[in-house]
Structure 1
Amino acid sequence: MKVARMIAGTIRWEQWQEGVHNEEIKEKLGMNSIDAAVRMNRLRWWGHVTCMGEARLPKRLMGSAVEGRRSRGRPRRRYLHLVKNDFVVIGLTSEEAPMLALNWGSWRNFIRGLCSRLNTERHNQS
C-alpha cells in the first residue's frame, strides 16, 4: 500500500485525515486484489501442468498421493483443494476445467479474460 499511496499522490497522514480507505486507492489505480492475483497465478500454473505430458515430474507430482497415516487434527489444505475452490469461484466445474485447459491458448485467454472481467466488475461496483 505504501507504493500505491505514492503512485496515487497521497501520504498516510492525509489518507487518515480524509478518511480514504485502502480499497478506494486500489480502485483509483485499477489494482487487483491480492486474492484475485494469487487465484489467477494458481489457475495459470494448474493449466500449464495439466497440458504437460504424463511422464513429466510436475504432472506426476500433482496427481500423486502420499502414503502413510496423517497426523492428528484437521487435514491440511492441499494445492488441488485450492484449485477446486477456485473453479467454484470462477464458475467452472471440475469436468469443464481440464477440457478447457488441454488447449493452452484457450486456457491462457480464459485466464486473461477472467482477470479483466474481475477488474471491470470491481470498477462497476464503485
Structure 2
Amino acid sequence: MPLKLKGKIYKSVIRPVVLYGSEYWAVKKTDEKRLHVAGMRMLRWMCGVTRMDKVRNEYIRGSLKVAPVTEKLKGNRLSWYGHVKRRDETHVTKAVMNLHVDGWRGRGRPKKRWMDCVRTDMKEKGVDDSMTGDRTEWKKKTCCADPK
C-alpha cells in the first residue's frame, strides 16, 4: 500500500479516534508526551520503520504528510474555545465556561485547568479573546493543517 494512502487512512480513521473528545481535556505535559509517542509509534509501524533504524520523526511525518498529534490537539481545543465564545450568553456551555465557584482550593500546586491550557495555546499561536468573533480569521490563526 502506498505511503500516501496510509497517511490518508491515519488522518481519517486513527487520529480522530485518538483525539476523540480532546477539546475538553486539560492536558498535562506527560499526557501530551504519551499522545505524541502513541501517534509516532503508529506512524512508524505503518512505514515499517523501527526506532533502531534511527529515522527522525519529522521525516516519517513528512513522508506520510501528517501533522503532529499534539498540534492537532491544540488546534481542536482552540477551535472549540472559539465556538463557545461565539455562542450567546444564555447557552449552557457559555454559562458553564463563565461559571465562578466560591470556595478555596487546597494546599499545594494548583491542578491544571482547561482554561490554563487554552491560555497557553492562545499565547503560542499569538491570538487573544477579541479575535474569536471573526470565525474565518480565528480558524486561519488557530488551525493546524496537515502538510501537503
Q: TM-score, normalised by structure 1?
A: 0.72
| Counterpart secondary structure, 2:55 | coil
Where structure 1 has 5 or more consecutive residues not aligned to the other structure, the ranges are 121-126
How far apart, in 2, do the equivalents of 1:47 and 1:59 lie? 11
Where structure 2 has 5 or more consecutive residues not aligned to the other structure, the ranges are 1-39
How far apart, in 2, do the equivalents of 1:19 and 1:11 lie? 9
Find the counterpart in structure 1 of residue 135 from structure 2.
104
Identity percentage of aligned residues: 28
How far apart, in 2, do the equivalents of 1:26 and 1:77 lie? 30
Name whichever of 102-111 and 56-65 sits farther off: 102-111
How far apart, in 2, do the equivalents of 1:86 and 1:11 lie? 32
Superposed displacement of residue 77, structure 1: 1.6
Total equivalences in the alignment: 109
Which of 65, 68, 82 does residue 30 from structure 1 map onto?
65
Find the counterpart in structure 2 of residue 60 from structure 1.
95
Spell out the pairing of 1:110-121 with structure 2 (5 A cutoff).
Answer: 110-112=141-143, 115-116=144-145, 119=147
RMSD between superposed Cα atoms in Å:
2.3
Which of 42, 54, 77 does residue 3 from structure 1 map onto?
42
CA contact (8 A) 2:125 2:141 kept: no
Find the counterpart in structure 1 of residue 34 from structure 2.
none
Letter in 1 for 2:135: W
Superposed displacement of residue 6, structure 1: 4.3
Spell out the pairing of 1:38-77 with structure 2 (5 A cutoff).
Answer: 38-77=73-112
How far apart, in 2, do the equivalents of 1:55 and 1:33 lie? 36
Whose radius of gyration is greater, 1 or 2?
1
Name whichever of 59-68 and 36-45 sits farther off: 59-68
Find the counterpart in structure 2 of residue 81 from structure 1.
116
CA contact (8 A) 2:84 2:94 kept: yes
